[in-house]
Structure 1
Amino acid sequence: MSRSLTALWIFLAMTGLEEQLSCSAESPLQLRTSPLAIKQSIPPEMQFAVLPLSAPAPTNNPSTEAKVALGRLLFFDPILSSTKDVSCATCHNPRFGWTDGRAIPIGVGGAGIGPARTFRGPASLPVLPVNVPSILNVGFNGLVTGTKFDPAAAPMFWDSRVQSLEQQVFIPLISRAEMRSDDCPENEAVTQAVLRVRAIDEYRERFHAAFGQPPDVAVTAEHLAQAIAAFERSLVAPRTAFDRFLAGDGSALNAQQQQGLQVFQEAGCPQCHGGPMLSDFKLHSIGLPDVTTHNRRQFRTPSLRNLRHTAPYMHDGSKRTLLDVLVFYDELSEAVTETLDGGDTTLQPPLDPLLKTLNLNPESFPALEAFLNTLSNDGYDQSVPDKVPSGLPLRL
């Protein structure tokens, strides 16, 4: 162990700093932080911090056991899709780190699970052109060090097109490629999904238990979104080796992993991948091909937490391994003069000024990869309901 890192964890152990967890947005999360990332050019909000054990809920959607249990069933139930054969879990499967293990997903019209999923016939629907983000720790989207965290303003999707988990729920329901298909007009997709759910006795009773309204009126689009959001917010991965290291356990990282941490810092990675979620949650243009209609060529910095379980990587799933990602960033020497997709550099937005070649010694890659693997914990929730109220097959 290096002398500087030894001093760090002894300091942390002696100070005994504790994070104070909040289940409400009324007061900001107070994070157990580390001076590890206090380096020149690293912004204060990117200071490393231990991830809290639970994600705060917005004041208008407090978490309850009944609400989380309802949201879990809705999440896994294909009844929400117009074709009744695609659920939220089709693309966010716990077996694949709550993603689908594919470069880009296949929603309606597909068969199979995970990387083996294919279209049942000739593809008549568009393919969603972005890699599926994991929903592990998604309740912390937007959390950075030293600022008040508002779960109602949490950025969602690669282009941050909506804020909050509650608003995010509706997007797949109306997406032609994800859960709607051509069986239902876009402006009727949410209403029709609610009607299908309301027709099921068990759901009416569960909505009544979760929201306290009579069963016949409790099933609404707002309550459906709040229940699913409450479940998604409950998916917090256990503490990682890096969290334990930040909390003062110097033995949590071995010598190679600590070397990788030093490489990570010296390369300037925490400028974007810092804070408790290892993300600044900002949009950046790094010259990658545009695949969305929002924020052209800009993509939100992904969290590095649990990335060992969520390959392939990047917004388009083009990198199969962590090593592929490291090589990608180590070979950006031409990115300051031309975009990586061969596009016009005069197009807006311009390339991000933080974009730079890492210029790492390839011999440091194993150590860096070893450190990145300390940001994951295999003990996350992978449970699946035995059945759902609709009686439809889970297809997982």
Structure 2
Amino acid sequence: MVTSVFLAGCGHAPEKKELDRPRVKEIAKVSALPKIVKTPIGNPNSEEKELLGKLLFYDPILSGGKDIACASCHHPTTGYAEFLDLSIGANGKGLGSKRTFKEPNDIPQMKRNSPTILNTAYNGIHGKDDYEPENAPMFWDDRVKSLEKQALEPIKTLEEMKGLHFSKSQILGEVAARLQSIPEYKNLFAEAFGADAPIDSIHIGMAIASFERTLVANNSRFDQYMAGDINAISHSEKEGMELFKSVGCINCHNGPMFSDYKLHVLGVPENKKVPEPDSGFQESFAFRTASLRNLRFTAPYMHNGSFQNLKQVLEFYEDISFGKTRNPSVSKEMFDPLVRELQLSVKDMSLIISFLNTLNDEDFDKEIPKRVPSGLPVGGNIQ
């Protein structure tokens, strides 16, 4: 399924110390990602489900206008994110930062940034195995739990995939009927779920979720370091890690995914493309802490793509740490209690960013199907 890229405490860089060996007690709040992905009891993975889910992910047959696929906004060439501040779904054309609305356009602008699908299989994780995929938090406002439910939400949303062709109550039934009319999909669903299983929204969500759980990037240089390779990250990157802990970033960006998966109020500035303020979870202006993994692929940052780079993010935290608000709808009294004095030098910022770069991992599935069963353009209108 980026809100708060950092929440910060107070303090400065630690005194120089021996940094070559991971110290379990000191970095217990962060850890390597597990190699095995947990699956829901009701939806164990299988090769048949994964294949079906992958084809559905790339097939624009799921959208109201048959022109938008999940991959239109979550494409492997852009790290399964988009490189746009705000996503463009229905009535869009192009890929990544080049994606625009077609003219004429009567589709509203989406108000949120498209997070990467990579590692969403681990959403909700705090330790090695202490997460429940059935209850994994999804979206910037935690509005649904589990990848199975997440996969269906864009199909039902006007700005994302539904468009103006069908009502919200009609679209899932329409999509199921389309798939039922395609012999290849009938065979694929039977192979994945059994001959008697219906082609319906439940099984569509289960198949897409099964594919999304294969999209993992769990062998970053940080993961290698935590596994015992003391040379996987440099001395300056280790200094950045120490600073990341000492100034309090770790208070919210912890666990294997560097996220506490909680909702926080920070007063991120509004995106001027959105006419009304985005009030987040239950109109509280709270948004979920984003993972810090693979930040190379997820810019622009925050829930509405307000910041183009990580330096701008850290400068934002400098401002709010001293009570300066950048959002007129959010007073400093509304700030999360974990926001407090930061005082980072330019060098400190550089060291933290260098550490965050150790969390990048480019070794993930980038294979794109050559065709999809509907015969429509793979990935939708992305050319």
Same fold (TM over 0.5): yes
- Contact 1:53/1:236, CA 8 A, preserved across alignment: no
- Contact 1:331/1:357, CA 8 A, preserved across alignment: no
- Contact 1:204/1:218, CA 8 A, preserved across alignment: no
Task: Quote the Cα distance in structure 2 between the aligned partners of 1:140 and 1:258.
Answer: 25
| Match status 1:392 vs 2:373 | no
Residue of structure 2 equivalent to 1:206: 188
Residue of structure 2 equivalent to 1:95: 77
Residue of structure 1 equivalent to 2:35: 53
Residues 292 and 210 of structure 1, relative CA distance in 2, 3 Å threshold: farther
- For residue 102 of structure 1, report the CA deviation from its aligned partner: 0.3
How many residues align structurally? 358
Equivalent position to 2:355, from 343, 346, 371: 371
> Within 5 Å, which residues of 2 pair with 1:1-396?
3-6=17-20, 8-9=21-22, 34-37=24-27, 47-145=29-127, 148-214=130-196, 217-288=197-268, 289=270, 290-292=277-279, 294-296=281-283, 297-335=285-323, 339-343=325-329, 345=331, 350-394=334-378, 395-396=381-382
Residues 3 and 356 of structure 1, relative CA distance in 2, 3 Å threshold: closer
Task: Quote the Cα distance in structure 2 between the aligned partners of 1:75 and 1:82.
Answer: 15
Residue of structure 1 equivalent to 2:9: none
- For residue 382 of structure 1, report the CA deviation from its aligned partner: 1.4
- Contact 2:121/2:213, CA 8 A, preserved across alignment: yes
Task: Quote the Cα distance in structure 2 between the aligned partners of 1:200 and 1:357.
Answer: 59
- For residue 37 of structure 1, report the CA deviation from its aligned partner: 2.8
What are the superposed Cα offsets for residues 25-56 of structure 1, whole Å, 9 maximum, x if unpaired?
A: xxxxxxxxx32335xxxxxxxx1111012321
User: Which structure's relative contact order is higher, taking Cα pairs within 8 Å and 6+ residues apart?
Assistant: 2
The amino acid of 2:313's aligned partner reads: V
Task: Quote the Cα distance in structure 2 between the aligned partners of 1:292 and 1:231.
Answer: 32
The amino acid of 1:102's aligned partner reads: L
Residue of structure 1 equivalent to 2:5: none
- Contact 1:94/1:381, CA 8 A, preserved across alignment: yes
What are the superposed Cα offsets for residues 217-270 of structure 1, whole Å, 9 maximum, x if unpaired?
A: 531211111000000111111411111111221111111111111111111000
TM-score (norm 1): 0.86
Partner of 1:218, secondary structure, is coil
- For residue 294 of structure 1, report the CA deviation from its aligned partner: 3.4
The amino acid of 1:377's aligned partner reads: D
- For residue 146 of structure 1, report the CA deviation from its aligned partner: 7.2
Residue of structure 2 equivalent to 1:26: none
- Contact 2:147/2:209, CA 8 A, preserved across alignment: yes
- Percent identity between the two aligned chains: 39
Task: Quote the Cα distance in structure 2 between the aligned partners of 1:377 and 1:346.
Answer: 36
Residue of structure 2 equivalent to 1:31: none
Residues 384 and 146 of structure 1, relative CA distance in 2, 3 Å threshold: closer
Unaligned 5+ runs, structure 1: 12-33, 39-46
- For residue 283 of structure 1, report the CA deviation from its aligned partner: 0.3
TM-score (norm 2): 0.89
The amino acid of 1:301's aligned partner reads: T
- For residue 293 of structure 1, report the CA deviation from its aligned partner: 5.6
Residues 124 and 197 of structure 1, relative CA distance in 2, 3 Å threshold: same
Unaligned 5+ runs, structure 2: 1-14, 271-276
- For residue 157 of structure 1, report the CA deviation from its aligned partner: 0.1
Task: Quote the Cα distance in structure 2 between the aligned partners of 1:334 and 1:238.
Answer: 36
- For residue 171 of structure 1, report the CA deviation from its aligned partner: 0.8
Task: Quote the Cα distance in structure 1 between the aligned partners of 2:223 and 2:304.
Answer: 29
Task: Quote the Cα distance in structure 1 between the aligned partners of 2:31 and 2:228.
Answer: 12
Partner of 1:299, secondary structure, is strand
